[in-house]
Structure formats: structure tokens, C-alpha cells
Amino acid sequence: MNATSADPRLEGRQLKRVAFDERTIAERVQQLGAEVTAAYPDGDLLVLGLLKGSFIFLSDLVRQINRPLHVDFLIASSYGDDTVSSGTVRMVYDPETILEGKHILLVEDIVDSGRTLNRLMDLLGERKPKSLEICALLHKHIAEELRYDTKFVGFDAPHEFLVGYGLDHAESFRHVPYIASLQ
């Protein structure tokens, strides 16, 4: 889709460009599903989605993973009422699933600063999972503070403000089926 074409989902706003179209996303998610399947041949697998941004990606991803698994979610906040991260991560919703002895795959929409992921990985690691890995749809490769590797990455992200496929701007655009940069 051309970013300047009329799309009723855009609420009259223009996008700069489409970074990843629907077909490209679907193909990569299918590949990621195969990679995850191969990486976890046995054991209990819990796919843990970081809300809200990961929900569409997680939904598509788990349908491409060809093995038994469980799904849960968590919500973390480092912003409060501010527009700049405080650096303090607070769990708003903590998964009720027991993590001990399970393979945990934390699914994130985009790796940016890495502060939230660091804190979440520390918190989840304290619960003694068998393994703990990150799967991100997008990675900007600017997270100088990130102490953990991102084992599975959908796409290297351009250094632009991206929306669509779960990513938002002021809670808008999550439902757009492609990823685009916002003007």
C-alpha cells in the first residue's frame, strides 16, 4: 500500500512511508514461528506477551509455532503520566502462570531503549524459568543499555516513529495491518 493513499483506518492522517507491508510481515512471522519451534523441541513453553504493543504479533506468532505452548501476558509501565520514561519499571499486570522450570519466550513489539526489557528480564529470571529469551518484532539496535540478547528478531527497524500491526501513537493505529512511519 502506498503510504499517501487514502486508508480509512488512518483517521485522516498521512503516513511518511510503509516500512513493512502485510505480506512481508506474514512471511517473516511464519519464519519466526519455525525458528521458535526448532529452538524448543521439548519442555513446557510459555509465550509471554508484553502488552499492549505485542498483541497482534503474538497472536500471529503463536499460530505459526508447531508445538504445544501456553500464552499469558504482562503489562509494565515506566512512564506513569509522563511522556519520558522514569527508568523505574512497574508491573501493572503480572502473569499468574508459574514460570519455574518452563521455557519463557518474552514477546515484545519493538526493542528501543532496552530499559523496560532489562527490568522485566531481571524480574522474570528471579522466578527460575528453565530458559528465558526475547522475541521482538522490531529491533532498532539503539538499545545501548540492553543487557540481554534478543534471540528472535522479525525486522531491523528504521530509526523512525513506527505505527501499525500493534504499534500505536496515542493508542491509535494499532489495528493497521502494516507497519509505517508516521509523519
Distance from C-alpha of 134 to C-alpha of 18, rounded to nearest angstrom: 25
Q: HSE (CB half, 13 Å, CA atoms) of 52?
A: 12
CB 103 within 8 A of CB 45: yes
Nearest to 108 by CA among 58, 61, 159, 155: 58
- 3-class SS of residue 104: strand
Nearest to 139 by CA among 126, 123, 150: 150
Catalytic-labelled residue, pool 112, 149, 156, 168? 112
Q: Is 94 a catalytic residue?
A: no
Distance from C-alpha of 156 to C-alpha of 112, rounded to nearest angstrom: 11
What residues act catalytically? 112
